[in-house]
Structures are given as C-alpha cells and as structure tokens.
Amino acid sequence: MAVSPAFKTELLATIPNLRAFAVSLTQSADKADDLVQETLVKAWDKHESFQMGTNLKAWLFTILRNEFYSQMRKRGREVQDSDGVMTERLAVHPSQHGMLDLKDFRGALEQLPEDQREAIILIGASGFSYEEAAEICGCAVGTIKSRVSRARNRLQEILDISGEAEFGPDAISAQVMGSNAA
C-alpha cells in the first residue's frame, strides 16, 4: 500500500519536534539530524503499522527513541559524561542577573542520565502525558513519574535553584547581585 499524502504531510509537520527531541537525546545537532533521518526512513517503511487518526507524534517519537538506543548499543555505548564534562560543570552558578541562563540550563540538562533527561523532556517540553511518555519509553507510568521527579531535583541541585543565597559564602555575592539587579 502506498504511503498516503496525508501521512507525508504529517511527517513533515512533526520534523521540528523530532529534531528537538533528537537534540535533547544526543546533545549534538549533527547526530540529531542523522537520527531524524533514520527515523523518517523507518517510519516510511513501516507506515502500514501506523493507524491514521492515532497519535503520529508519539509513534514517531517511539521510533526515534528506539533508534537512538539501538545506535548507542551498536557503538558500545559512548559514555555520555566522559572526561571533563562532568567535573567541569558540577556546579553551575546563575549568571550575573541572578536569572537562570539558558546556557547554564543546557549544561545542567547534559549532566542528567539519558533516561531522566528524556522523561523530563517528554513531560515538561514535548507536551506528552505521563501515559504517552510511558508508552514511548516502554515502561510504567510510575517509572516516568519518578524519573521526572529525580530529573527535576537534580536540575535544581545543579542549578542551585532552591535555597540559594540562604547560607554559605554565596549569600554575600548573591546579595550584591540582588541589589544591583533592577
């Protein structure tokens, strides 16, 4: 059966989202686009297994995610927090204005283990429900919930969001910054 034009149109429409998810997973624009390409080819090949009217975005995310992990396995799993990345970024401090900088946030996100990162992205950014995310990741809803909450706690820790400036030597610099800001 030929691929319907509607299917193709929807595929195209989902590409920006697929790319965003792919970058979140791979942390690399190049790898992400290769991953998206692979996903599109796979999706095209098995389009018959998709039922029009159901959630194409979730279906595509599932394919992309499976592809990502199978590539990682093939490569013997590059350790994501190798070398300096981890130590270099252990503590990220809010930038001058006391506001959390997007670059800092990106750095913090990179430090999360994949399973936590993908969970918090799916729930907090891609707009999936916990049920959908569980299906995409092939795990229980409760697992997604706990990953999201661990990811969130970890990010708060790394970014020093809660309880900042309350104690420790940072309190002083925070006050200085605070008085300067607006």
Partner 1 sequence: MTKQKTGAEPVNRRRNGSGDPLGTNSEIGRKLKQYYDELVSDEVPDRFAQLLSQLEQAEPLQKKG
User: Rule CB under 8 A: which residues touch partner 1?
Assistant: 2-3, 8, 11-12, 15-17, 19-20, 23-24, 33, 36-37, 40-41, 44, 100, 102, 105-106, 109, 120-121, 123-126, 148-149, 152, 155-156, 159, 161
Q: Which is nearer to partner 1, 20 or 177 (CB)?
A: 20
Provide the token pair at 27: 């942390």
Q: Which is nearer to partner 1, 77 or 91 (CB)?
A: 91
The least distance separating partner 1 from the CB of residue 141, rounded to whole angstroms, comes to 14
The least distance separating partner 1 from the CB of residue 17, rounded to whole angstroms, comes to 6
Q: Which is nearer to partner 1, 92 or 135 (CB)?
A: 92
The least distance separating partner 1 from the CB of residue 84, rounded to whole angstroms, comes to 22
Q: Which is nearer to partner 1, 40 or 58 (CB)?
A: 40
